[in-house]
Amino acid sequence: MENLLWRIIFAFFLAYLSQVMTESVTSDMLLNYEDIVRLTGEKSIILIDVRQPHELQETGVLPTSINIPLNNLKTALESLSSEEFQKKYGIPLPDKNAPLVFTCRSGNRSMKALLTALELGFKDAKHYAGGYLDWEKNKGLSEKKEKH
């Protein structure tokens, strides 16, 4: 009985923690396929794919994205010097006002990346809610439309 009580308390704690963490996320921070196509076409965002490198090799990448695996993200944005960041990721270290957009496979890790960026003080961070799976699905649909 005591074990069950602790499980219930823990479940409520996790639910509360999840709610507190996502309260800072607003609907304008959640991007869809059309947003990504438009913003990457305008070259007005820094698109960061937080998947592991082997996942990118297996599936492919979103155009213009750079890869910073989720487990390296906080260190990359918080601790690397401008020179180290540029050398490692091929772009200048973003400042706190940079338009960052995070993506992953399905949107779960990119949400964690968004929360990390917000925690670090980035003011214009967003995430692609559908991730690479949504990209592939919509890219296929748009290619079919173009053929007809």
Pairing relation of β-strands 66-67 and 46-49? parallel
| Given the residues 39, 104, 125, 129, the one annotated as active site | 104
Active site residue 104: yes
Taking the C-alpha atoms of residue 118 and residue 25, their distance in angstroms, rounded to an integer, is: 9
| Architecture of the domain defined by 28-147 | 3-Layer(aba) Sandwich (3.40)
Output DSSP code: residue 148.
-
Domain ranges of the chain: 28-147
Would the CA dihedral through 94, 96, 99, 103 be positive or negative? positive
Closest CA to 55 of 131, 4, 125: 131
Over the stretch 75-121, which tens digit does the pLDDT of each residue have?
999 999 999 999 999 999 999 999 999 999 999 999 999 999 999 99
Least confident of 17-31, 68-82, 111-125: 17-31
Kindly report the pTM of this predicted structure.
0.81
